[in-house]
Amino acid sequence: MRTLKVETGRPYNIIIENGVLENCGEYIKKVSKAMRVAVISDTNVFPIYGDKIVDSLTKSGYQVCSFTFDAGEKSKNLITVSKIYDFLAENHITRIDLIVALGGGVTGDMAGFAAATYLRGIDFVQIPTSLLAQVDSSVGGKTGVDIGAGKNLVGSFWQPVLVLIDSNTLKTLPQYYFEDGMAEVIKYGCIKDKALFEKLENENAAECIDHIIYNCVAIKRDVVSHDEREKGERALLNFGHTIGHALEKIGGFTNLSHGQAVAIGMCMITKASEKANLTEKGSAKRIEKLCKKYNLPTYSDISKSEIAKAASSDKKTNGSSIKLALLKEIGESYLEKTEISELEKFISK
């Protein structure tokens, strides 16, 4: 077992251990005095792990109820959250009680947002089952949903009281989902860890996944502890995401997965920054090659003008400008303030 502590306004632990799901109730009991637990999951994950989670929680003395929604980004909206609110009320979930988010990034984001806003905030635990959620979205307290204008435009910073990561869950996932999560892993190598990037180049990630998960979580832990509400350094975690979110929006959140969109975004923004002499030459080719190694796309035929227009409503905009996360070189990143009106010109270089 490996434990990382996140030093935010409300500190919490991230526990990484194979088989932790079977004993989740014991770990949760140490951080929560809840009487009732509402497990929020989707139609893909709950049939696999739901009984195991409910059984462990029940054995630990909790009254447990469960809510499932249709799997996929298309469900990550206020309509689903409203249904979660009704479910919580019907099951008499109170301020001392708890939500457990069991699933991937969509589940964690949405269950976390419900926890942040129901009764003006109740505790929740993240049990991420996808690679993307384990290395990225389950840590740091960003919660939210999509609306027509864009991805994650409605949300809240609401830290979990505990994160339980079990890499055994990755064995039940289709290869597609593993590859999707690898985009976020590659991102961490790009922005903060050259050695991780080189490890991904030279080895098979699946064969050293526990090491990779720990490295990525440790990086995010450090960044979030320094900048909980994204006033500075945390924005570096958005590398590839400005373009990625725009591509997801253009595709109606169905054409590309989050990881696929981020992979394209990393490649496009690095090509542009290289041409502007802001990034070490050859970086974009290395990122493209690594993305291809893990079957991630590197290019979109959507026009740069359409991408720039979609990105203009991104949550990272500030007045007439946006902060772009760029690379000096592989492993070292920085923020570049860019006028929204200049974004199309920049990415068209």
- pLDDT tens for 75-115 read 999 999 999 999 999 999 999 999 999 999 999 999 999 99
At residue 6 the predicted structure's pLDDT band, cuts being 50, 70 and 90, is very high
The answer to whether residue 72 scores a pLDDT higher than 90 is: yes
- Residue 95 tokens read as 């301020």
At residue 332 the predicted structure's pLDDT band, cuts being 50, 70 and 90, is very high
What pLDDT sits at residue 315?
Answer: 65
What is the fold of 175-347?
Answer: Dehydroquinate synthase-like, alpha domain (1.20.1090)
256 CB contacts (<8 Å, ≥6 apart)?
A: 247, 248, 264, 297
Q: Quick one: which of 180, 317, 150, 340 has its CA closest to 250?
A: 150
CB count within 10 Å of CB 54 equals 21
In this prediction the pTM is: 0.94
Q: Give per-residue pLDDT as tens, 314-323.
A: 766 777 789 9
Q: Give per-residue pLDDT as tens, 260-319.
A: 999 999 999 999 999 999 999 999 999 999 999 999 999 999 999 999 999 887 766 777
Q: Are 53 and 102 in contact (CB under 8 A)?
A: yes
CB count within 10 Å of CB 248 equals 26
Q: Are 62 and 95 in contact (CB under 8 A)?
A: no
Query: In terms of C-beta density within 10 A (0-12 exposed, 13-18 middle, 19 or more buried), how is residue 207 classed?
Result: exposed
Angstrom distance (rounded) from CA 245 to CA 101: 23
- Residue 268 tokens read as 């496009």
- Residue 286 tokens read as 């290395």
Q: Give per-residue pLDDT as tens, 14-40.
A: 999 999 999 999 999 999 999 999 999
What pLDDT sits at residue 49?
Answer: 97
Helices (H), 32-174: 46-59, 78-90, 105-117, 131-132
Location of each CATH 1.20.1090.10 domain in the chain: 175-347
Location of each CATH 3.40.50.1970 domain in the chain: 2-172
- State the DSSP code for 114: H
Q: Are 47 and 74 in contact (CB under 8 A)?
A: no
Q: Please give the C-alpha separations between residue 112 and each of 49, 102, 125, 221, 246, in angstroms, as whole numbers.
A: 19, 11, 8, 18, 23
Q: Are 187 and 262 in contact (CB under 8 A)?
A: yes
Catalytic residues, by residue number, are: 120, 142, 184, 220, 230, 234, 238, 241, 245, 258
What pLDDT sits at residue 157?
Answer: 97
CATH class of domain segment(s) 2-172: alpha beta
- Residue 144 tokens read as 């939210």
CB count within 10 Å of CB 79 equals 10
Q: Please give the C-alpha separations between residue 199 and each of 212, 219, 284, in angstroms, as whole numbers.
A: 9, 16, 17
Over residues 150-170, mean pLDDT: 96
